[in-house]
Amino acid sequence: MSWIQKLYETYEQCSDTMNVPAEKLWPLSHLVKKAHVEVSIDDKGNFRRARALGRTEAPTLIQVTESSAGRTSGAAPHPLCEEISYCASDYPEINKDKFEGYEQQLAQWCESENTHPKITAILTYVRSKRLWADLCGEKIFPVSVEDAKGKKTKVSDPKVFVRWRVESAGNPVSGTWEDDGLIAAWIAFDRLQNSKTGFCMATGKPARICQSHPRFIRSSDDGAKLISANDFSGYTFRGRFTDKKDDYEKQTCSVGYEVSQKAHNALRWLIGRQSFRSSDLVVVTWSVAGKPVPDPFKDSLSLFLGSDEVSQVATEIEQPDVGDVGQAFAIRLRKAIAGYSTKLAPTEDVIVLGLDSATPGRMAITFYRELKGSDFLGRVQSWHEQNAWHQNFGKETKFVGAPAPRDIAEAAYGRRLDDNLRKATVERLLPCIIDGQALPRDLVESIVRRTCNRVAFEKDKSGRQWEWEKYLGIACALFRGSYQERKYQMTLETERTSRDYLYGRLLSIAEHIEGRALFVGGERRDTNAAKLMQRFADRPNSTWRTIELALTPSKSRLRANRPAFMHGMETLLDEVISKFEGDAFLSDRKLSGEFLLGYHCQRQALNPPKPDKPDESASDDDTPDTDI
C-alpha cells in the first residue's frame, strides 16, 4: 500500500498548486475523455447549435460513476456527457436500455438536493427526443477525428461522443466541463450513491470502499488496471480466498474510494507531465511535495538545460580554466544539482515508479523506490559523474556528460532495435541509476563491440560518420563508468602504461598520419586504421604490423611536404611504443574497451578544437576537418 499512499499524499499536496486548467489534477468522480461533438442549448432546454470538435479542443472533463468509469461492455451510462447511442432517444438504432439508464440517472441527479440549473436544461432537451435530428440538420455526420500526424479516421455514429454547453444570460461559463459549481454538485451527489463502507488500509480509517478501480492510467485508451478483481465465476479466487464475492473483500486489503480516485488521478497527472515512456513501460519520478526533481532518464546536456528551475544556473556557468575537463564537468554538475537542492529539502520523499503491462487489461508495478531528496540527488549526480565522457551527437550537439538510457540501448543494439528490447534495456539500466548498481557487463561489451566495427556505420554526404561518433562517446562513457577504480581521466593520460590504452593511442596516431597525408594529396577515402579497427581490436599486434606497413607511402609524402609534422609524429610513435611494459606490445590478445579511451583521448589531443577566427579565408591551417 506504500505506493498508493504516496500518490494520495501527492494529490493532497499538489491539488491546489496548479493554476493552469490543463495542468490541474482531475477531481473525484471525473475523467477526461475526447469529445467529438459539442451541443449548445439555452437554459430552457432549447437547441441552439452544434459543431464538430478539433483535435486540440476535444479533451473534456466529464462526470463518471464508479461503474461507468471502468465499463467495457453492458449499459453503464456516464451521468452527463455521453455517446449518441446513450443520450439520443431518436437515434434509429437506439438501445432502449442504454437511453433509459442514462435518462433515469440524470433525472435522479436533477431531483436531488445537489442539482444544478444546467442539468435541468440538459434533461429537458434530452426528453424532447430531438438530439439526433438536430445533429443531422447541422450536417455533423459523418464525424472524423484527426490524430497527431494529421491522419483522419471516421467514427461510427453510435460512438460519437457529445458534450454539452448551456448558455444563459449573465453566465460567462457555459461549458459543463468548466463549471466548478456543477463539478462540485456531481461530487456531492455521487458520494451518496454508494453507502458501502469498510476499513481503508491507506488512511487507517473507515471509508467508502472502492468497488471498481480506475483505468486509463497511461493514456486515454489504456484499459489496463493496477487493481482489479472482476471474475466471480472463474478461477480468480481458487486457493486464495475461502469464499467469493461476499467475503473476499474482508480477506484482502480494501482501499477507500476517495483514496483510490486521488491516487490514480495523481498517477495520471504525473505520467502526463514528467514520465519516461518506452513501448508499454512507463517510469515516473516525482517529489511527494510537488518539488522539481531531475529526470534520471535524461543525458547530462538535458539535465543542465532542460529544466526551467536550473536553466539559468546552468547557462551562466562558464567552464573553469583547469587541466582536466572532468573537473570542469563536475563543477557544472554540482551547481546544476544545487539548483534542485535549493527547492527540494534533503528529507523530502522522492518516488521512482515503473509500470508495465503484459496484457491489455492488467498492469503491474515493475520498479518502486522511495528515497529521501538528498539520496536521490546524490545518486543522479553519481551516475552523471561516473559515466561522463565527451559526447558527439551531431554537428550542433556536443557536450561532456553521461548519455541517456535510450541512447545507450541504441548504441548496444542499433537504431532499429525492437521496442521490447529497448524497453528491457532501459529496465536493466534503471537500478544502475537509482540504486547505484554496476552496469551490466554484457551491455557494455555489446556497445564496445559494435563501436569497433566502424566500417558498418553509414556516412553522410560530407563523409562523416555521425552515428559512429555518437556511439564512440557512449562506449567510452560506459567503460569508464564500469571501472571506477581505474580512475580514467577525460583527457590524454601520457603516464598511463596499460597495454590496451597504449594500443588505442597507436591506432589514433596512425589514423592521424594517414589522414593528414590524404588531405595533403587531395584524396578522400577511409584510412587503413579506420577500416581495420575491428580486426585491430581482436588481434592488435599482427594488425598493427599491417597498418604500419600501409603507412609507408603516407610517411614519404609527409616527409616531402610536411617534414616538421612527420618528425613530431614519429617521435610520438616511438614515445608510445616505448611505454609498453615487458612483452605486452608483442601480445596478440584481444583488446578491451579501454583501447577506445586511449584512441579517443589521443585523437582529441591531436585534433584540438579550433578557436574562432574573424576571417576564416585568411587561415593557412591545412589540418583536415576531423570531428572529435
At 312 the pLDDT is: 41
The percentage of residues in the chain with a pLDDT greater than 90, rounded to a whole number, is 63
The pLDDT mean for the chain works out to: 86
Sheet strands (E) in 325-427: 349-359, 362-372, 389-392, 398-401
pLDDT band at residue 214, thresholds of 50, 70 and 90? Answer: confident
At 578 the pLDDT is: 94
At 621 the pLDDT is: 43
The average pLDDT across 597-614 equals: 81
- Which residue has better confidence, 371 or 620? 371
- The sign one gets for the Cα dihedral 323, 326, 327, 332 is positive
What is the reported pTM? Answer: 0.85
pLDDT over 50 at 604, yes or no: yes
pLDDT band at residue 123, thresholds of 50, 70 and 90? Answer: very high
Reported as a single tens digit per residue, the pLDDT across 146-195 is 887 788 899 999 999 999 999 988 888 999 999 999 999 999 999 888 76
With a CB cutoff of 8 Å and minimum separation 6, the contacts of 123 are 45, 103, 106, 107, 110
At 498 the pLDDT is: 95
pLDDT over 70 at 602, yes or no: yes
At 18 the pLDDT is: 55
Q: Where in the chain are the domains?
A: 35-193, 291-348+370-490, 492-628
pLDDT band at residue 495, thresholds of 50, 70 and 90? Answer: very high
**Other CB atoms within 10 Å distance of the CB of residue 389:** 30
Reported as a single tens digit per residue, the pLDDT across 6-19 is 999 999 998 776 55
At 8 the pLDDT is: 93
- Which residue has better confidence, 246 or 116? 116
At 2 the pLDDT is: 86
pLDDT over 60 at 307, yes or no: no
Q: Using CA atoms, how far apart are residues 98 and 101, in angstroms rounded to an integer?
A: 5
Rg from Cα positions in the chain: 32
The average pLDDT across 40-66 equals: 93
Q: Using CA atoms, how far apart are residues 203 and 478, in angstroms rounded to an integer?
A: 44
pLDDT over 50 at 317, yes or no: no
pLDDT over 90 at 137, yes or no: yes
With a CB cutoff of 8 Å and minimum separation 6, the contacts of 470 are 391, 392, 393, 394, 407, 411
The average pLDDT across 206-228 equals: 84
The average pLDDT across 305-332 equals: 53
Say whether 458 sits in a helix, a strand or coil.
Answer: coil
The three cell numbers of residue 90 are: 431518436
Displacement of CA 24 from its chain's centroid (Å): 21
Lowest mean pLDDT of 309-313, 376-380, 528-532, name the range.
Answer: 309-313
| Of the candidates 54, 77, 53, the residue with the CA atom closest to the CA atom of residue 65 | 77
The three cell numbers of residue 542 are: 599482427
pLDDT over 90 at 203, yes or no: no
Q: Are 38 and 165 in contact (CB under 8 A)?
A: yes
* 335-338-340-346 Cα dihedral, nearest 10 degrees: 160
The CA-atom distances, in angstroms, between 184 and each of 33, 40, 266, 589 are 19, 22, 19, 74
At 162 the pLDDT is: 96
> How many helices (DSSP H) and strands (DSSP E) are in the chain?
23, 16
Reported as a single tens digit per residue, the pLDDT across 348-362 is 999 999 999 888 888
Displacement of CA 350 from its chain's centroid (Å): 17
Lowest mean pLDDT of 62-71, 125-134, 263-272, name the range.
Answer: 62-71
The average pLDDT across 227-238 equals: 58
At 351 the pLDDT is: 96
- Which residue has better confidence, 236 or 226? 226
Reported as a single tens digit per residue, the pLDDT across 517-542 is 999 999 888 999 999 999 999 999 99
Reported as a single tens digit per residue, the pLDDT across 330-346 is 888 888 888 899 899 99
At 172 the pLDDT is: 86
At 240 the pLDDT is: 56
The percentage of residues in the chain with a pLDDT greater than 70, rounded to a whole number, is 88
pLDDT band at residue 117, thresholds of 50, 70 and 90? Answer: very high
At 309 the pLDDT is: 40
588 DSSP 8-state letter: -
Element (H, E) at 480: helix 466-482
| Of the candidates 385, 406, 408, 384, the residue with the CA atom closest to the CA atom of residue 474 | 408
Q: Are 107 and 191 in contact (CB under 8 A)?
A: no
pLDDT band at residue 322, thresholds of 50, 70 and 90? Answer: very low
Q: Using CA atoms, how far apart are residues 212 and 214, in angstroms rounded to an integer?
A: 7
- Which residue has better confidence, 317 or 38? 38
At 234 the pLDDT is: 54
